[in-house]
Amino acid sequence: MSHATTPVGTERKIVTELPGPKSQAMHERRKATVSHGLTQGFPVYIERAEGSILVDIDDNRLLDLGSGIAVTTVGHAVPAITDAVSRQVADFTHTCFMVTPYEEYIEVCEELAAITPGDHHKTSALFNSGAEAVENAVKIARLATGRDAIVVVDHAYHGRTNLTMALTAKNMPYKDRFGPFAPEVYRVPTSYPFRDGLSGPEAAQRAISAIESSVGAHNVAAILIEPIQGEGGFIVPADGFLPALSAWTKANGALFIADEIQSGFCRTGEWFAVDHEGVIPDIVTTAKGLAGGMPLAGVTGRAEIMNAVHEGGLGGTYGGNPVAAAASLATIKALRVGQMHLRAREIEQLMVPFLREVQASAPIVGDVRGRGAMIVIEFVVPGGKEPNAAATKAIIEYCTKRGVVVISCGTYGNCVRLLPALSISDEQLRDGLGVLAEAIRSI
């Protein structure tokens, strides 16, 4: 907790080695009392943040290119959001929507109906986390279709609860020895242009053949897919892959569930990543960017599907908490009024050519891809496509030690993902990219 009054400013400024002495001491306290099962990350402890700058307890100013994994899309401590939260805290913090409801919950559902793809009648239910939203989307899809099978793809990430572990592809660290896992989950190949070289329709046909032969079309309740695969490595499927899968679900009485938890809320240059391909999902799951840092998640879908659930079948004590809902309404307004999807496109225009230029002289850069402010660099062993996790680790360490916060991802641990706030300035972005380029060249 901080009561510091010095301005945060807009520049990265490192005044101790990182992690600094206070952070190192804090880390010792942590080790004694916080489960070692949580990712340790870079042990720099934060006490304040503003815009794209994080201030640690040693008074270092770090540039945040991760946004807490695509959450603070509008930026840290944005007055419109913090004011909305403060007002709501002063009004009331909790009643439980299932016991004595309130307007903020309804307003978030109205916004979700307006901004998710398609102009059909939609209803929503709100939850606390992305995994909880995905679990509920699966519950709803099974009930609405009367079928059991859920189809997911290679490299998928949908969460860490028991059902979502089954839906998630990668064993370490998410699933190892945590089973047994939930049944009736079937995994098929995805579209990964850098690694499979297939066109969208070819990759879709490969997935569909696998579904038809190993699951049976009539058993499929839903295909659940991230339109840009997040933890798996910001894998942008080849054009036509998502529309073909969506068309297949329609033709076979199954549902298409888009998991937009990481890719939603203007991050990719549209409200949602499926918007780039004109796909209209039956159900959309949201979280992360939905509420500017407050825990909130949503399941939004065709009214006839969502409303098929019996009364009391959906819910939870905190889902759609009024403070999180107030944050969400302010966040969505800021995104809309600021037309921040356009800023995401500008960020892509700045980042991608810069990184492609770095790639031209750095054989460890296998691929630069992504959309909007959701860009990744995939590192390989020079001369081929063998994943280079060691280089990735070294690059992340180089950046974080200089106060540029970037996060890894990828099934093979060989990607550096860039998820800046959409309010980041060009100067800040150039500063962060400069350090990243140095890091790549240092390998």
Ligand X SMILES: Cc1ncc(COP(=O)(O)O)c(C=O)c1O
Site residues, ligand X (CB under 6 A): 69, 129-131, 134, 157-159, 226, 230-231, 259, 261-262, 287
Closer to ligand X at the Cβ: 26 or 373?
373
Distance CA(259)–CA(156), nearest Å, equals 10
Calpha distance 289→270 (Å, rounded)? 13
The two structure tokens encoding residue 334 = 């800021």
CB of 70 vs ligand X, minimal distance in Å: 7
- CB of residue 233 vs ligand X: minimum separation in angstroms? 12
Bond from prior residue into 180 cis (ω within 30 degrees of 0): yes
**What minimum distance in Å lies between the beta carbon of 294 and ligand X?**
12
Identify which of residues 18 and 374 has a Cβ nearer to ligand X in the complex: 374
Helices 103-115 and 322-337, interaxial angle, to 10°? 40
Pick 131 or 421: Cβ nearer ligand X? 131
Instruction: Report the nearest approach of ligand X to the CB of residue 273 (Å).
Output: 10
**Local structure of residue 23 (DSSP, 8 states):** H
Closest distance to ligand X from the beta carbon of 164 (Å): 7
**Residue 54 DSSP code:** E
- Choose between 152 and 340: whose C-beta lies nearer to ligand X: 152
Distance CA 394, CA 296 (A): 34
Judged by beta carbon, residue 64 or residue 231, the one nearer ligand X is 231
Closer Cβ to ligand X, 296 or 362, answer by number = 296
Which of 247, 285, 283, 318 lies closest to 143, judged by CA?
Answer: 283
- Report how far residue 387's alpha carbon sits from residue 327's, in angstroms, rounded to the nearest whole number: 39
Closest to ligand X by CB, 150 or 358? 150
Question: How would you class 186 by CB atoms within 10 Å of its CB: exposed for 0-12, middle for 13-18, buried for 19 or more?
Answer: middle
DSSP 232: T
Between residues 261 and 305, which has the closer beta carbon with respect to ligand X? Answer: 261
Q: What are the C-alpha distances in Å from 86 to residues 51, 82, 83, 320, 376?
A: 18, 6, 5, 17, 35
CB of 343 to ligand X, least distance (A): 21
The residue assigned the tokens 């070289």 is 197
Distance of closest approach, residue 156 Cβ to ligand X, in angstroms? 8
Q: Where are the beta strands (DSSP E) in 325-406?
A: 365-371, 374-379, 404-405
Minimum distance of ligand X from residue 226's CB (angstroms):
5
Helix (H, G, I), strand (E, B) or coil at 330: helix
Nearer to ligand X, 131 or 280 (CB): 131
**Number of other CB atoms surrounding residue 266 within 10 Å:** 27
Residue 364 CB, shortest distance to ligand X, in Å, is 26
Give residue for tokens 């050519």.
353
- Identify how many contiguous H helices and E strands the chain contains and give both numbers: 14, 15
